[in-house]
Amino acid sequence: MTYGEYLQLDQILSAQVRLSDHHDEMLFIIIHQVSELWMKLILHELHSASAAIEKEDLPTAFKQLARVSKIQSQIIQAWDVLSTLTPSEYMEFRDKLGQASGFQSYQYRLIEFALGYKTPHVLKIYEKDEELHARLAKAYREPGLYDISIRALAKAGLAIHPGVLNRDYTKPYQQDGSVQAAWLEVYRNTGQYWNLYQLGEKLVDIEDWLQQWRFRHMKTVERIIGFKQGTGGSSGVNYLKKVLDQRFFPELWDLRTEI
């Protein structure tokens, strides 16, 4: 077996099909394809980390969650490359994209689901593809990484309200006082709860990097198209600014004020 055969390079390197003759469309395609590959690895690691936490194998989860954070840093840097595309250059081929939009990235939606952020309207975007819709619907019903981490708090003997442990996972997570108290106990007694303390910090790392990715996404879009509507019909920059207010692990951020 050769290097190219092992990596299926013929298939990968022939997947950059430009719809225009513009030089910079190649940049646009490759940046998004590479980001999707990184997102595939993020999902691979998040699912394995969640399974490890369920089995109370927290050290393994730490390694995988740390890898997720490193991958996120790579995706953030990709925006620096894309931002070399100027508005004039992008407008030369933007009309060739039709209704295609990053808003439709199903892997990004799966990452949101894995982190516990779920909204029903997202599933409607993928109704045309039955297989993909079924995959998303399954992930939509499953507990997120934070739900599994809260279970770990309960397994360690910390008091968690039953309504949180048995909640409807298709709903966005709502901040809870018992979870706040449990994390505060962990952070005030790090020696006793060292692994849970480490878990909390790994979760904060992931949300921190995700919000940095979202910010760089928003600023890159603003730099290239200003406040124009997105190609898929989204409100573009205004939508991207709005999602910056979303929180995934609220108690882990709020305890920093209380501790």
> Is residue 200 included in any domain, yes or no?
yes
Out of 75-79, 125-129, 176-180, 184-188, pick the least confident.
125-129
pLDDT at 43 over 80: yes
Report whether 217 belongs to an annotated binding site: yes
> Is residue 243 included in any domain, yes or no?
yes
> Is residue 229 included in any domain, yes or no?
yes
Q: What is the mean pLDDT of the chain?
A: 93
Would you state the pLDDT for residue 104?
85
**94-110: average pLDDT:** 85
Report whether 67 belongs to an annotated binding site: no
Would you state the pLDDT for residue 68?
98
d(CA 92, CA 85): 11
> Is residue 8 included in any domain, yes or no?
no
CATH number at residue 126: 1.20.58.480
> Is residue 174 included in any domain, yes or no?
yes
pLDDT at 246 over 90: no
pLDDT at 156 over 70: yes
Contacts of residue 113, defined as CB under 8 A and 6 or more positions apart, other chains included, come to 136, 139, 140, 142, 144
Report whether 257 belongs to an annotated binding site: no
DSSP code string of the chain: --HHHHHTHHHHHT----SSS-TTHHHHHHHHHHHHHHHHHHHHHHHHHHHHHHTT-HHHHHHHHHHHHHHHHHHHHHHHHHTTS-HHHHHTTGGGGTT--GGG-HHHHHHHHHTT---THHHHTTTT-HHHHHHHHHHHHS--HHHHHHHHHHHTT----HHHHT--TTSPP---HHHHHHHHHHHH-TTTTHHHHHHHHHHHHHHHHHHHHHHHHHHHHHHHHTTPPPTTS--THHHHHHHTT--SSHHHHHHHHH-
Report whether 47 belongs to an annotated binding site: no
**126-137: average pLDDT:** 92
pLDDT per position as a tens digit, 172-188: 899 999 999 999 999 99
Which tokens go with 110?
Answer: 């799966």
Apex CA 55: angle with CA 52 and CA 60, to 5°?
30
Pick from 164, 175, 140, 186: nearest CA to 246: 175
d(CA 17, CA 139): 31
Report whether 231 belongs to an annotated binding site: yes
Q: Determine what percent of the chain is predicted with pLDDT higher than 70.
A: 97
d(CA 39, CA 18): 22
> Is residue 3 included in any domain, yes or no?
no
**94-121: average pLDDT:** 87
Domain ranges, residue 147: 20-257
d(CA 111, CA 39): 8
Contacts of residue 28, defined as CB under 8 A and 6 or more positions apart, other chains included, come to 82, 85, 90, 93
Report whether 113 belongs to an annotated binding site: no
Report whether 31 belongs to an annotated binding site: yes
> Is residue 39 included in any domain, yes or no?
yes
- Number of domains making up the chain: 1
pLDDT per position as a tens digit, 4-21: 999 999 999 999 999 999
pLDDT per position as a tens digit, 187-239: 999 999 999 999 999 999 999 999 999 999 999 989 988 877 666 556 678 87
> Is residue 94 included in any domain, yes or no?
yes
Report whether 148 belongs to an annotated binding site: no
Of 92 and 100, the structure prediction assigns the larger pLDDT to: 92
**102-107: average pLDDT:** 85
Report whether 12 belongs to an annotated binding site: no
d(CA 151, CA 142): 14
d(CA 227, CA 230): 9
